[in-house]
Amino acid sequence: MEEPVSQSDRDPEMNKLRQSLRRKKPSYVPEASRPHQWQADEEAVRKGKCNFPVRYLGHVEVDESRGMHVCEEAVKKLKVSGKKSVKAVLWVSADGLRVVDDKTKHHWE
């Protein structure tokens, strides 16, 4: 048994109008999928000139190498330790990460 089709469903002009009035959701493109935005960062990393001002809390050994829960637990341990954070610079290069104390220039690998 066929369902009744209204006049507006048969009219292609009405369908066009209906589609044009629908709000289109902007398509989401993850940040990592936008290579043009990462080219300058990639070049800076390769040259060893990529750095960020940070507050160094310290370091903690972890059991796993992945996961937000691992980071959250490590930060909790650091905050409970009671040590003050230190103004530092995080250097990112192809060789690895380096944290350098702003005042003393002491670095942690």
Q: Tokens representing 75?
A: 């930060």
In this structure, are residues 93 and 48 in contact, taking their beta carbons and an 8 Å threshold? yes
- Look at residue 64 and tell me whether its pLDDT is greater than 90: no
Q: What does the pLDDT look like over 79-89, one tens digit per residue?
A: 888 888 889 99
How far is it, in rounded angstroms, from Cα 101 to Cα 98?
10
How far is it, in rounded angstroms, from Cα 49 to Cα 73?
30
pTM for the full predicted model: 0.53
In this structure, are residues 58 and 81 in contact, taking their beta carbons and an 8 Å threshold? yes
Over the chain, what is the mean pLDDT? 79
Strand intervals (E) in 1-109: 50-56, 86-93, 96-101, 107-108
